[in-house]
Amino acid sequence: MKKILTLVMMLAVVSVFAQQQETKTDVKYNQYLTNGFWDNWFIGVGGGAQVYFGEHDGAIDLGDRIAPAFDITLGKWITPLFGVRGQFAGIGVKGGMVQNRGHFIEEAYDGCANCYTEKFNMFNLHGDFLWNISNTLGGYRTDRTWSFIPFAGFGWAKSWKKDVNPQYNEVGATVGLINKIRLSDAVDFNIELKALLVNDRFDGYEVGQGIEELTTATVGFAYNFMKRDFTKYVKPVPCDYTPYTSKISDLEKKIADADAKASQLANDLNAEKAKGPKIITNTEYLAGKMAVWFPINGTKLTDKDLINLGDYAEVIKKSGLTYKISGYADKQTGSKKVNQKLSEQRANKVYDALVNKFGVDPAKLEKVANGDQQQPYGKAPLNRVVVIE
């Protein structure tokens, strides 16, 4: 037991020394925000050796009492200083017994009269409270190489041996320390020393009373799940609203100016309304479609046609529009060549009358000869026509 305590003290001194040798960076002392439930989790596995310290184990050499140890851990850091974890630890124990009175006896031990070896299985399923003393004393740092983490907790400890009764289920207390060596942000190398304190009967010897210890030393690795770090709490700084209040004052002044302008515009509008309506007359001369019909093979205008064209010419002259003169011939008589020439002559007659006789500006007229390609009306006599539109 003295050797174990000496080893613990040596590791503690080495841990403190290593922290002092690390490169100095900005140290964070203030409070940090706690993260979400799924943040700052870690899982670890380790292996090593363990030694049981019972009433009669001193009769057996220490080397004959060393048994393999294994543990698997799942935990979470709640703050940079404190965390919790659950651990399954085992797996076997070797010890000694004076007189053949224990339940887990193996065989007689050479070199000691009336001494026996014992061997049994065990596990310790426990929950622990973790304290990162390095972050407490040195400030929270994500790049710290060596961290010193003591822990304590309680759990269920069970010991048994195959085909042997009884089995023992005890409440056990676990204390120890973790020397965490940072390999990267995600991976740590752990050296863990711990002691399980259980009832005296845990090793199968029920005569004594009190507490016995199972000490364990393991080395292993831990993986840190994201998110891994903590965010520093920043005290809110009261906002300076002076720029905003000045801006608001400027906007209020602009609104007042706009209201004044709107009021002036309303007054001007009312003054204009009081003047009464102003009637503006704009005469637009519009003429509908006009048709001039010709007899078969005819191109001469009658007096009636000239009277109608004279009236229509006055409308054209007053209008700002351009008019189209379209000449046609019926396709039931004559060839296409004759009909084309006939439609040109009819259109020319109307055009000449409007321009030369009635004084219409030629720029307002457009002349087209369609021959018999187009038939504007359904009967042959009606298609011997000139249409003005």
End-to-end CA distance of the chain: 125
Q: Tell me if 2-14+38-232 shares its fold with 290-388.
A: no
Worst-scoring range by mean pLDDT, 25-39, 298-312, 359-373?
25-39
Q: Quote the distance between the C-alpha of residue 6 and its chain's center.
A: 53
Rounded to the nearest integer, the mean pLDDT of the chain is 84
Q: What is the pLDDT of residues 247-292, one digit of tens each?
A: 898 899 999 999 999 999 988 888 888 886 767 666 666 667 888 9
* C-alpha closest to that of 369 among 322, 323, 326: 326
Q: What is the pLDDT of residues 329-350, one digit of tens each?
A: 898 888 889 889 998 998 899 8
Q: What is the pLDDT of residues 105-134, one digit of tens each?
A: 777 777 777 788 788 889 999 999 999 999
CATH 1.10.40.30 fits 290-388, yes or no: no
For residue 90, give both structure tokens: 């085992």
* C-alpha closest to that of 118 among 108, 105, 109: 105
Which pLDDT does position 282 carry in this prediction?
62
The values of phi and psi at residue 59, to 5°, are -75, -15
Fold of 2-14+38-232: Porin (2.40.160)
In the chain, what are the domain boundaries?
2-14+38-232, 290-388
**Taking the model in full, what pTM does it have?**
0.52
CB 73 within 8 A of CB 87: yes
DSSP assignment letter at 340: H
The rounded percent of the chain whose pLDDT value lies above 90 is 33
Residue 97 has pLDDT above 80, yes or no: no
